[in-house]
Structure 1
């Protein structure tokens, strides 16, 4: 309020100074007086009602009052604008911690990488499938005939085998649709032989695979599930295994396949090339 009063006093002082500084035109006033006295300078004008003169005075007064009021309002607004306005800050309530967030510690990932076999070079074939460690059933009857009816077979050591790892491939050809099929691979347990996986080119979900040891052999057995069939064509079954360092002789390994086609059962099988022959030992030619 003090600032408003100071502004009003300053406006009044300026108005007084303007009035005191006004200098009337004395020559013009004297000339008008002389013309009035002579009665010839100014034409007669109709007299205005007294009310009109008073209206002019009242209007001028109101204008001055309005000017003062507007000036005071502007100054008051400017002064008020300088004052900081009250502000309200909305504060969110603190979240209630979840019981699960405080009752369970964070799970740390296992930084230990899975171990891999050194120098392993698997054959460029379909990915191998997990194996079930079970004791195989009784071995299939051995045979040295690789042809029987619509069936033809072959056993060989994969050329990608190396000094620490090997893969035995069994190839089956059939000229008829098979409604039953069992494929058995028997790998002699020479030094360091240990299962390293298996795969087949036929659909994985069509077969049950078991892997185990029996009578000095590591045995892989694929059994066609009931209700599934094998179409005509050529297919591969492969067993993978680690072994002691150096070339491994596959002379004691063997395989057997039994199948049913058109209600008849057929059997094929054989062994692998002996040492010194083609596809004999791992890594040798």
Structure 2
């Protein structure tokens, strides 16, 4: 029997025919229903294919009968999704370029690196006065020989180039009993005129370079001396200014005086 069983070859066509016949008989016992189009056979070969398909459906349908399910033997290709509005010939050229990535487009309102780094964005060659010494430097101080009753305000000018005109003014606020006691300068006496007067509570000293005179480069002091009420005098409202002309053109400087305490 084992030998006969081993050599036995089942008749697959007959088995499929029986399965088909059984399904047809079962269908007659049930309520009539529309047959699917795939059961219609037009030739023996088509009938065989239909039987195979029927067998496959029977297996799927009966496997796990407690969980009925619909089975599709084949699926038709899905309809292609409609292109978004605006796509096609009239679409933006950025979307038509497959090599362009999001963010590649330059910002229309920004400068490119080339525009930001052109030579015109940097300073050009220095002009005549670039990093050059100023024509006139100035500084205001209270002379260290001042005392509780008397003081001297010094204006120091450092001249870099010859001056053909110069006017210097010292203004000492009347903080109480301020009276002029004199004035002097290290400029040549014959080249400068000195004037002193009081106006609106301020003692004014003015030095003016005479016409035709020249101030040569160097360091010069112009000083105003005065008495004042006893004690340390407040210099907060004192000031000076200097202006003139020379080889480098016109200039003007101004400044004030630091507070001075007797004994410092």
What TM-score, normalized by structure 1, do the two folds share? 0.45
User: Quick one: higher RCO (CA 8 Å, sep 6+), 1 or 2?
Assistant: 1
